[in-house]
Structure 1
Amino acid sequence: MVVLFVADPQLIGIQDEMGFPVGSIARWDSDRYLRSSFSRAYQHARPDVIVFLGDLLDEGSKASKSEYLSYVERFNNIFYETKFCKRVIIPGDNDIGGEGADLRTPFKVARFERHFEAIEGVENYLFVDFIKLDIRDHNVEGRRQVFRRMSSSLTAPIRIVINHESLITRRKENIYPVLQLAQPSVVVSAHWHWSQVYSCATCLSDNADLNHWPLKARDMKNTHGFVEVDVSQTVSLDEIMVPTCSYRMGVPHMGYGVAVINKSGQMKYAVLWLPSRYPLLYVYIVVLIIAVILLCLEFIFSSCGSQKRGYR
């Protein structure tokens, strides 16, 4: 089973961008980059499931009704291939609020669910349950109650918890009660825009120490090819952090995550790294400036030549 993970595309909005024509050009170029890169990733991976890890829209939390509808239309056009396979979506703070002064509200959540899908629940495909718990630091008890309600929907031997924000990098006392109850095979997150794999040998053990995660971090930015992840363990836990796929996030390494999962409990994970965009844009700007200069010089010289012929 092949899963393609898409993190933080953050389609550029209207309110925070410059006016016409700069803003229009920026949206066009960013959308074109996402459309082209996603299409190639899809053709390469041929996934059974595509998982979106939140922050689909840059201004989803504050968009007007007409703006939001235009963003949803752009999203569906960019990620057109999701029509042909199983799709799982969770929101990020840019979609429904929840970070800093940008408060999460029932209206924002309802709007997201109306145009995409429920922010909580279990999505099953073959031998994997994708668990959407929407875990945050301050809502542990609420998440435990949510999991108890959805536990009857868990039917697969492999459980993957998908969450926009990282879990096992947070305070253990805020996260452990939920993870210990859910017993995930692996956690997949996003939000930070870079690629990491965190391994924790005893994260799911019955450990009274609620102050310490024995974590080992692996930076994936220089890793090419697959890494092995054992999802059959009942005590250890790995969290995969998927990088952003948008060059507008300002990070040098963008990509899509891809996992190949066997029913036996073995999983291989890799990042499909994307080409840089800003260096090429700078080349475009330089070429444009040179072209404008040459056109100006040609106009000046041709005008001077015309004036000389007029004097004769």
Structure 2
Amino acid sequence: MIRRSRLKNKIGAIVLIIGLTVAYNEFIAYEIQRLHWAFHKCTDCTRILLVADPQILGIKNENYPGASVAIWDSDSYLRKTFARALAHSQPHVIAFLGDLMDEGHIASGEYFEKYKRRFDSIFQTPDDVMKIYLPGDNDVGGEEDTVSAHISDRFEFTYSQPDTLSYKSVNFFKVNRLTHSVPGAPSDAFLNDYSERNTTNVVLSHMPLLFSPGSFVQSVVKELSPQLIFSAHDHKAMHTSLDMATNQLSDIWILPPHENRLFHLRLDMGDIHEVQIPTCSYRMGTPYIGYGLASVDTHEKLVQFTILWQPNRFVQILVYNLVGLILIIFSFYFAAVWAYRVLSGYVTYTKVPNMRT
């Protein structure tokens, strides 16, 4: 009976360790991270949730043993982090800044539809929130290969929407550096004086713009007169500003990883601000993962933005492996002790109940 009780205690301890590990990695870690996020309450602003480079995994590159588990875990991570970011930010607009799929540019029509359904099941959004979708190089090509007109048209047909959209006093312009396309702008989107504008012009681009100037960037600045640019692609968080008076970059800085504070940008100082948003997928080779959140106040000519940093999934996977290894070692140890006792004729004694006379 004593030996049986000890076995139950050991099994109970193992179950407790596994349960606590799973609970922390799959729930508690995300809730703790969420407590540190910044949030700007405002009554007359437009809140924008920015999703960069989710790159949901495909079956061609993920063709190793256990790939289905890796795909499931990546999808699960994106689903959990996005749901929390959505609940926290309560956005008016969600902008998906490209590279929605890892293999969109090489997928057949059948698999593209499957990836699209997976993407929609991961990033579930309310119907009353405006959604904006940009193509990235992994969606239509353009980085290591040329942009296929057929593949590009397929993306545009699937995510059919204008390249110019407006929400209240904010105009959104979708530009594509891969295809060098710049949309037209409504006539009331511009005024010569920044301080007198009654609208905010926001350019959305998958590829960064200001840090790599050229004729395309000049045409974007000239034709759209943006005050604010959001971009992705490089899987990092960075701010760049262009002084329109000198046509020179005036400020460049990396957003500190896991520093959950609000950054403030003025829109009436003659600068164009570009904010690069980090990837939200842990599979992109960087430990710094998050979503962007911006509040645009056209009346006050002010933007406040932050990064909703996420837990490092690779650390969680490492914890799983370490706990699993420890449990395996202890299991072998207990099995060896039990075998030794059996083979050596180890005798255990049980307590004899008291006999009343």
TM-score norm. by structure 1 comes to 0.85
Tell me the residue number matched to 2:251: 216
Partner deviation per Cα, 1:22-49 (whole Å, 9 max, x = no partner): 1111111111111111111111111111
Structure 1 pair 263/213, CA: closer, same or farther in 2 (3 Å)? closer
Match in the other structure for 1:112: 155
Is 2:210–2:241's contact at 8 Å kept on the other side of the alignment?
Answer: no
Aligned 8 A contact 1:168 1:213 in 2:
no
Query: Is the 1:185–1:237 contact (alpha carbons within 8 Å) kept by the matching residues of 2?
Result: yes
Q: Residue 59 in 1 paired to residue 59 in 2?
A: no
- Change in CA separation of 1:301 and 1:83 when aligned onto 2, cut-off 3 Å: farther
Q: Distance in 1 between matches of 2:188 and 2:96?
A: 21
CA distance, structure 2, for counterparts of residue 274 and residue 98 of structure 1: 29
Q: Does 2:325 match 1:281?
A: no
The Cα shift of 1:301 comes to 5.4
Query: Hey, what's the Cα distance between the residues in 1 that align with 2:176 and 2:151?
Result: 14
**Residues 122, 154 of structure 1: 8 Å contact kept:** no
Say if 2:177 and 2:216, in contact at 8 Å, map to a contact too.
no
Q: Displacement of 1:283 after TM fit?
A: 1.1
Letter in 2 for 1:181: E
Deviations 1:43-70 (A, max 9, x none): 1111111000000111111112332222
* Alpha-carbon spacing, 1:117–1:154, altered in 2? closer, same or farther (3 Å): farther
Output the CA distance in 2 between the equivalents of 1:115 and 1:300.
60
Give the deviation of 1:298 after TM superposition.
Answer: 4.8
**Counterpart residue identity of residue 4, structure 1:** L
- The corresponding residue for 2:88 is 44
Candidates 276, 280, 288, aligned match of 1:253: 288
The 3-state SS of whatever aligns with 2:248 is coil
Deviation at 1:307, TM superposition (A): 6.4
Give 2:326's match in structure 1, choosing from 290, 300, 311.
290
Do 1:7 and 1:54's aligned partners in 2 also have CA atoms closer than 8 Å? Answer: yes
Q: Residues of 2 paired with 1:38 and 1:220: CA distance?
A: 20
Identity over aligned pairs, percent: 31
Work out which of the residue numbers 24, 35, 56 in structure 1 matches 2:68.
Answer: 24
Shift of the 130–6 alpha-carbon distance from structure 1 to 2, 3 Å rule, reads same
Which sits farther off after the overlay, 59-68 or 6-15? 59-68
**Higher Rg:** 2
2:207 is paired with a residue whose SS is coil
Shift of residue 15, structure 1, vs aligned partner? 0.8
Report deviation, 1:116.
2.2
The alpha carbon displacement at 1:214 in A equals 2.6
Counterpart contact for 1:200–1:214, Cα < 8 Å = yes
Deviation for aligned residue 1:216 = 1.5
**Residues 16 and 125 from structure 1, CA distance in 2 versus in 1: closer, same or farther, beyond 3 angstroms?**
same
Q: Which amino acid aligns with 2:103?
A: E
What is the aligned length? 291
Corresponding residue of 1:182: 224
Partners in 1 of 2:323 and 2:110 — Cα distance? 37
Q: CA deviation at 1:280?
A: 1.2
Whether the 8 Å contact between 1:122 and 1:153 is mirrored in structure 2 is no
- Where structure 1 has 5 or more consecutive residues not aligned to the other structure, the ranges are none
> In the aligned structure 1, how far is the partner of 2:215 from the partner of 2:248?
10
Q: Could you tell me how far 1:190 is from its partner in structure 2?
A: 0.5
Distance 1:266 1:289, change over 3 A: same
Contact 2:173 2:202 in 1 (8 A): yes
Match of 2:210 among 143, 162, 168: 168
Give me the whole-angstrom Cα distance separating, in 2, the residues matched to 1:173 and 1:107: 26
Does the aligned pair in 2 maintain the 1:260–1:267 contact within 8 Å? yes
Counterpart in the other structure of 2:302: 266
For residue 5 of structure 1, what is the aligned residue in structure 2?
50
Structure 2 unaligned blocks of 5 or more: 1-45, 191-197, 346-357
Letter in 1 for 2:81: S
- Whichever residue aligns with residue 14 of structure 1, its letter is I
Shift of 1:304: 6.2
RMSD: 2.4
TM-score (structure 2 length as normaliser)? 0.75
Provide the rounded CA distance (Å) in 2 between the counterparts of 1:66 and 1:153. 42
The whole-number CA distance in structure 1 between the counterparts of 2:340 and 2:159 is 62
Amino acid at match of 1:56: L
